[in-house]
Amino acid sequence: MDDTQLIAAILRRDQDAMVALHARYADLIYSIGYRILNDSGTAEECVQDVFMRVWQNTSQYDSGRGSLVAWLVGIARNIAIDKLRQRGRQVTVDDRDGLDDSDRLVAAAMPENWRDREHLDALRLQMKELPDEQYQALYLAYFGGMSQSDIAEHLNLPLGTVKTRMRLGMQKLRDAWLDKN
């Protein structure tokens, strides 16, 4: 079953379909959780919380606003950041060396028919080329859940500068994703 069929079955309260969705995306969600939390136990909790939330709130999924996997990733990020805050911790910005070895990226575990696979290389290259200051601001916001004013304070920069860096960084990544470069 593709994702559309899975979500249709889950809407009909098909538990087997829900377990199949878990099997399909557990690695992705676990990898996001681990990247944010840097702790295997809490990343495991994150995986179960994400899929339970999907089961309990399936009708909130709106295909008009994005794919099922985008919805899952958004939930995973929110749950992991909540756990990060509960523990009073901060995310550590990683270097980008890992991007060179595509076999060791979670993309390698995405379903074969993931339609956005072809866009990934352009995005990977653009992420590597992003100026440090833009990458850092985006990382702290997305994987650290920090507000723009928190980031401004953390990096000792004016708020306007942080906003500009984020916007530019996001636009470059999105353009690469859409093959506009």
Contacts with other proteins in 93-132 (CB under 8 A)? 98-99, 104-110, 116, 119-120, 123-124, 127
Q: Compute CA 72 distance to the chain's CA centroid, rounded to the nearest angstrom.
A: 9
Question: Cβ 87 to other proteins, closest distance in Å?
Answer: 19
User: Measured from the CB of residue 57, what is the shortest distance to other proteins in angstroms?
Assistant: 13
Binding mask 3-42 toward other proteins (x if CB under 8 A, else -) reads -xx-xx--xxx-x--xx--xx--xxxxxxx-xx----x--
User: How far apart are alpha carbons 6 and 23 in whole angstroms?
Assistant: 12
Interaction between residue 85 and other proteins (CB under 8 A)? no
Report in angstroms how near the CB of residue 102 gets to other proteins at its nearest. 9
Residues 6+ apart with CB under 8 A from 148: 141, 159, 162, 163, 166
| Number of shown-chain residues binding other proteins (CB under 8 A) | 78
Q: Which two tokens stand for residue 11?
A: 């809407």
> Which tokens go with 71?
């919805």
47-60: string of b/e by CB count within 10 Å (b at 16+)? bebbbebbeeeeee
Q: Which is nearer to other proteins, 4 or 92 (CB)?
A: 4
Pair of tokens at residue 169: 């960084």
Among 42, 75, 138, 165, binds other proteins (CB under 8 A): 138
In whole angstroms, how close is the CB of 166 to other proteins at the nearest point?
A: 7
